[in-house]
Every structure is written in structure tokens, then in C-alpha cells.
Amino acid sequence: MYKNLKIFLLIAFPLFTSCGKTNAYVPGQITDSIECSEKSGQFYALYLPKGYDGDKKYPVVFFFDPSARGKLPLEKYRYVADSFQVILAGSDNSKNGPLEICTAAANAMIDDVKTRISNIDLQTLLLAGFSGGSRFAYSYSILHPEMKGVIGCGASFPAQTQDVFPPRFNYSLIAGFYDFNFREFYQVKEIFRNNNTPFCFIPFYGGHEWPDSKSFKKALQYQLCLSNGNKNMEANDQLMIALKNQFSEFRDSNNLMAAKWSLEDLLVFEYKSYQTSNYSDSLQKIIKSTDYQNQVTLFDKSLRMEDSLIQEISKVTTAYYQLLKNPLTPIKPMKWWEKEIEKFTLFETDKDIYLQMMGKRLKSQVCIQYWGVNRQLAGAGLYDRSLETAIILTMANPEEPIYYALKAESLSAIGKTKEAKTELESAVQKGFTFDEPSLRNNPYLAKLKSL
């Protein structure tokens, strides 16, 4: 029966050939853990859009996730790929870490896709990355001119690439208002605008995460239109409509700064696509309005306040890191943290939208800093201190299941098995699945799981 099924698949889907071996992939379904033919140990996930036709040319988007989750962005954006008839591929090896490892993973995946799929459009090879994967995608494209565009999510370009400006590829940046990196996005946007360098800036209401499919769709539309030389007027019109809708959404929610940014993108794309409409009057109207000027003042004030609070958080984080060398390093009491988190929560409920965003970003900042220090302390066997940082994490984001797993790990390590089991049960109830790479083979969690 297996033999007959294999013959059927080879006849029904003789799509790609690699090293003389025919491989079958089903359009509309993600194929995970494909091993590169010429690079043993290098894997990636692949998605062909529904309606795939072997006689047509297809753009490709290569994804880089900071935790080597190649399948994750394909699951999020498969329907976007169907809409635009784009192939998606995500590396299972590239992750935050040494540049050499990421580059080897990218080279292996890209070369393998080119080998397996003979009908890709070499004029529309795009990279997309999240967080550290976003920085890597930008760096890689600088050194590989065959890459025509980059969609950055959750982070912009690395500091060492600022001298290579402007980039010769098309650049889209998707930024969450609640992302701890948001100030970086804002500064990069200003760099591009001040240098009259076209790019697409897409803010959305979210944190440090792969963006929603609606936001990614706009970024991809921008890339495809420019890669096409703006010759596809239907695609151009769709992008203009999407950007106009984005402007209307921000304007109607009284987020006038974001509305202004959307108009700036409209003006850039209007020029690039030779549209006849003019948004200059609308832009000037917003800029001259009292409401906008007041919001700029509040926004600048919130950024200064955020800087000050982040410095305070970082000082406490540094003290925790110093425990690795000096166990007697003085640490802020948990009561201090309770007051700080309460302060951030009050910001989140303020009537000023920029203070609301700041409150969410500060909690996000706590999470990114204390995840790192927690793993360092646990790795050094300082589980009483790693427990403190896990408690801080659950205060900052009580809905994140992995933070309860961290509490369970530390409690188990210091012999508080009953409490540890309770925390692990909370983690599982909230969605923890033991798949987190840094905890997958954790002996303390494995012991609790077996009880």
C-alpha cells in the first residue's frame, strides 16, 4: 500500500527535482523540516500557494525567526501567500546568535529552494525577519544584491550597517506600538524620511511579535509593487487602498502621529507609482492642527519618561547579573517591583494613548530583560534568585505561560516540589507545551511532569 501511495504522489505532484530525486509538495499545505540536499543538518519549512502552477514564475519570501521556528511565520502568512501567489520558506536553523550560523542557514535554504523549484522569480527574492531575524535579513541583503527587498519586524537594521545607507533594496518596517523596540523604529523612520529614502513604515497595535497578517500583507504588497517596477496597476491600486484605510483607522482613533506616518507612505508610493491623487493637503492639515501638535508634545514627553524608567529598570537588572560574580550584591526588594509594575499598569489605563503605549512597552522591556537574567541565574544554579526574576516576569505579563514554567523550575530546584507542581499546572493551563527550546530538556520540569 505504501508503495502504491508513493507512486500516486509522484504522478500527481511531480513538481520539483533535486539531485535527480523527485520530491512531492502539496500546494496549500506547509511541508516542515525539509533537509537541504547539499547541506546536511540544515532544515527549513516550505509553503506553495494554493493554485500553484509549474509553468508560472513565483516570488519567494525567505523567513528568519529568532528562535529558529521556520514553520511559524508560514502558518501566520500562508493566506497572504495565497492572495499574492508567493512561495514562503522559513529556516529551522537561523536564530539569534553568531552571524556565521545565520548566514550558513540562509545560504543553505536559499540555494536549496532555488535547486528544488525551477520556476521561482529571481527578480523578486525577498527576506523577512522578526527581532534578531530582522536585523540579520537586513545585513544579509546588503551583501547579497540578488535580494530585492526586506520586511523587518520587531527590529530594524544592525548598528554596524548604518554606514551602508541608503540600502539598494526596498525596505518595509513593521512596528508594534507596544514593542520595547518602538523608539528604535521611530528613529529609523526619521532617518529614512530625512534622507528622502523611500520605505514603508507600518505601525500596528501589538508588541514584540510577528505582526498580524493584515500588517504583513501591506508590507508584502509594497515589496511586490516595487519589485514589479510599479507595472501592475491593479496591485498598486490595492496597496494605495490599504494605506488609505490604515490612515483612516489611525485618524479615526485619534492617533494623529500614526495617521501622519501613513500619509507620508502614501505620498512616497504616490510618487513611485505615478498616481494622480495628492495627499499633501491632508498631510499639511494634520501637521498644522492643534491636536496633532499637542500629541507630538505628549509623545516626546512619554519617550523621555520612558528612557528614564528604562534606565532604572536596567540598573536593577545589572545588579541581578552581578550576583553571578558576587552573591552579596544588594537587590531591590520585591515590594519595589510591585510598585513599579503597578505604575506601568496605571499608564496602560491613562486617557493619553501615548502613555498607554508606554506602559505596555515598559512591561515588555521588563520581560525581555528578565528573561535573559533568569536564564543566566538558573544556569549558574542560583535558583533562589532565578525564582525572584520569574516572579517579576509573571507580574509584568501574567498571561505568558512560560513564565510560570520558570517559576516551577526554580521552585523544584530548591526543593519546593508541591509549589512547583502548582506553578507548572498553571503554565500548562495557560498553554505551555514543553516545546520552548531552552526548557525542552529541563530536568526539573521533566521530573515535575512525571509526578
Reduced 3-state DSSP string for the chain: CHHHHHHHHHHHCCCEEECCEEECCCCCCEEEEEECCCCCCCEEEEECCCCCCCCCCEEEEEEECCECCCHHHHHHHHHHHHHHCCEEEEECCCECCCHHHHHHHHHHHHHHHHHHCCCEEEEEEEEEEECHHHHHHHHHHHHCCCCCEEEEECCCCCHHHCCCCCCCCEEEEEEECCCCCHHHHHHHHHHHHHCCCCCEEEEECCCCCCCCHHHHHHHHHHHHHHHCCCCCHHHHHHHHHHHHHHHHHHHHCCCHHHHHHHHHHHHHHHHHHCCCCCCHHHHHHHHHCHHHHHHHHHHHHHHHHHHHHHHHHHHHHHHHHHCCCCCCCCCCCHHHHHHHHHHHHHHHCCCCHHHHHHHHHHHHHHHHHHHHHHHHHHHCCCHHHHHHHHHHHHHHCCCCHHHHHHHHHHHHHCCCHHHHHHHHHHHHHCCCCCCCCCCCCCHHHHHHHHC
* Cα 195 from Cα 305, distance rounded (Å): 28
Q: How many CB atoms lie within 10 A of CB 8?
A: 11
- Beta-bridge partner residues of 61: 88, 126
* Cα 264 from Cα 283, distance rounded (Å): 8
CB contact at 8 A, 119 and 57: yes
- Mean pLDDT, the chain cut into blocks of 10 residues (451 residues total): 39 39 75 93 96 93 96 97 96 93 97 94 95 94 92 85 70 94 87 79 93 95 78 71 90 92 80 62 91 94 94 95 94 95 96 94 95 95 96 96 95 94 93 79 82 70
* Cα 76 from Cα 212, distance rounded (Å): 8
* Cα 105 from Cα 90, distance rounded (Å): 10
Amino acid 165: pLDDT? 64
Q: Give the CA radius of gyration of the chain.
A: 24
Instruction: Provide CB contacts within 8 A for 331, sequence distance 6+.
Output: 316, 319, 320, 323, 385, 388
* Cα 90 from Cα 51, distance rounded (Å): 20
* Cα 33 from Cα 47, distance rounded (Å): 12
Cell of 400: 505568558
CB contact at 8 A, 174 and 207: no
Name residue, grid cell 516576569.
393
The tally of CA atoms less than 13 A away on the side-chain side of residue 47 is 28
Short-list 265, 173, 266, CA closest to 211:
173
Amino acid 280: pLDDT? 84
Instruction: Provide CB contacts within 8 A for 35, sequence distance 6+.
Output: 41, 42, 43
Name residue, grid cell 498553554.
431
Burial label for 146, CB within 10 Å (0-12, 13-18, 19+), is: exposed
Residues constituting the chain: 451
* Cα 389 from Cα 277, distance rounded (Å): 54
Give all domains of the chain, ordered by start, each with its CATH number: 2-228 (3.40.50.1820), 294-450 (1.25.40)
CB contact at 8 A, 43 and 70: yes
Amino acid 233: pLDDT? 64
* Cα 217 from Cα 69, distance rounded (Å): 20
The model's pTM is: 0.86
CA pseudo-torsion sign 137, 139, 143, 148: positive
